[in-house]
Amino acid sequence: MTLRLRRHEFSDDATLMMAIVNRTPDSFYDRGATWAEDAAMDRVDRVVAEGAEVVDIGGIKAAPGEEISEAEERARIVDFVGRVRAAHPGLVISVDTWRASVGAAACEAGADVLNDAWGGADPELVDVAASYDVGIICTHTGGVTPRTRPFRIEYDDVVAAAVADTVAYAERALAAGVARESIVIDPAHDFGKNTFHSLEVTRRLGELVDTGWPVLVSLSNKDFVGETLDLPVGERLTGTLAATAVCALAGARIYRVHEVVETRQTVDMVWSIAGRRPPKRAIRGLQ
């Protein structure tokens, strides 16, 4: 299915790198490296040069912490979205927010996608996506409250739950008026899940791909990688790329990442092995 994110269209054999840009002072990964606006803009310029088709701009870290008001979240991201849009008119801009009011302000500033990491916590977000004709990411979180960690959460079948909830969210967005080609689903590794759940979602990602909705995965340096390998945040790249390869083989379309170049090479190699992408050059044994 052709993927349309506002005015940007991508064929059904295209994979997209969504580079993470945190407008927060306390991100688990970069520890505030892009908190300053100029530093965040440098990050955008760099990932675009590295080949990212999408940037995902967030103003609140996912983990528990200081309460961030709607006004503060807007102040962190809305004007910055406008700056990015002016500097990179051909770039897809995603905004990581669960709040409809923040999403609307970001769309006014030029955002193309609403990345709802908290599974529809604000039911009006789909109406915003429909009103502005932008894309929406429909995630599975098991119904947890935004910015809380899962505690002894249980599923009869975590993948079945992820399929049911993301598809229901996608259908709700469709009913609200969001274009079918602008809806993406995401099993949301780690969100509302323990490490065993995230590993199972990775292993069975093909079941989400089989729904027919384009699938996004957000794997980069997450806790399920760190716990599986017993590694701290700064040492999880190899594990992240291993999980990425499994998801790529299953057919995930969008990859939300910290490391653009390494992820792009991994995904391209796997898609070529799967027969979905021709090699860039194939002269061995022919010349």
> How confident is the model over 122-176, as pLDDT tens digits?
999 999 999 999 999 999 999 999 999 888 999 999 999 999 999 999 999 999 9
Domains of the chain, earliest start first: 3-273 (3.20.20.20)
pLDDT band at 66 (very low <50, low <70, confident <90, very high): confident
Q: How far is it, in rounded angstroms, from Cα 153 to Cα 149?
A: 10
pLDDT in tens, 12-35: 999 999 999 999 998 888 878 999
Query: How distant is the alpha carbon of residue 93 from its chain centre?
Result: 12
The pTM of the full predicted model, rounded to 2 decimals, is: 0.96
pLDDT tens digits, 254-285: 999 999 999 999 999 999 999 999 999 999 99
* Rounded Cα gap, residues 69 and 66, in angstroms: 10
pLDDT tens digits, 83-123: 999 999 999 999 999 999 999 999 999 999 999 999 999 99
**Residue-wise DSSP of 121-178:** SSTTHHHHHHHHT-EEEEE--TTPPTT----S---S-HHHHHHHHHHHHHHHHHHHT-
Any bridge partners for residue 136, and if so which? 114, 183
